Amino acid sequence: MIEALEDCLADCRRHLVRAPRDRRSPMHTPVVVSGDVDARVMVLRAFDAQAWRLRFHTDIRAPKAAVFAADPRAALLFYDKGAKVQIRARGTAAIIAEGAEVDAAWSASTNFARRCYLGDGPGAASAVPTSGLPAAFEGAEPDDHQLVPARANFALLAVTLTALDWFYLAHTGHRRAQFTREGPDGAWAGRWVSP
């Protein structure tokens, strides 16, 4: 069992480093909550362990993009049942639609994944069940030329973490630690709290 605050913070980092790299990681798909208290499961695409910055892909037309642009508060929930660890996090979100980082993320995506940005925007009304994709791309992979219009809809959701709540479930007694970023260097300050 972890008995030092720095080990709790290191455990958070380990889980977040693994999550985007391993699709089997239970923390690969956290719950992300926007300022309008709407929650959704998203795929964690990258974690910068130095900046404590998470990166997700999103559609610029999605309602959450406008919400985060107006109110950058974000909350996230990660849970690993096997490890018996829950991480609740808060941070500052930004929607990024242009630039080298977005271009690199787009280039690293498969054409099959990129096709999601070809169809109707998320939340668009339909009289029938729909994927929102153009009929030509239902179950089919478009080529690079067909994906040109999709790029305009692709964006990143970047969340810089400002607070962490680490919770370890144990039959002998749960453990919980909280961390906040403080000072000009963004160092983490931690404390033990009762579960």
| Domain annotation for the chain: domains and CATH numbers | 5-97+154-193 (2.30.110.10)
Residue 19 has pLDDT above 90, yes or no: yes
Q: What value does the mean pLDDT take over residues 13-24?
A: 97
pLDDT per residue over 140-167, tens digit each? 899 999 999 999 999 999 999 999 999 9
Does the predicted TM-score (pTM) go above 0.75? yes
How far apart CA 57 and CA 74 sit, in angstroms, is: 15
Q: What Å distances lie between residue 35 and 47, 71, 131, 132, 144, CA to CA? A: 22, 6, 27, 26, 36
Residue 157: beta bridge partners? 56, 95
pLDDT per residue over 102-140, tens digit each? 999 999 999 999 999 998 999 999 999 999 999 889 888
pLDDT per residue over 27-42, tens digit each? 999 999 999 999 999 9
Residue 186 has pLDDT above 90, yes or no: no
CA angle 117, 119, 124 (to 5 degrees): 110
pLDDT per residue over 71-107, tens digit each? 999 999 999 999 999 999 999 999 999 999 999 999 9
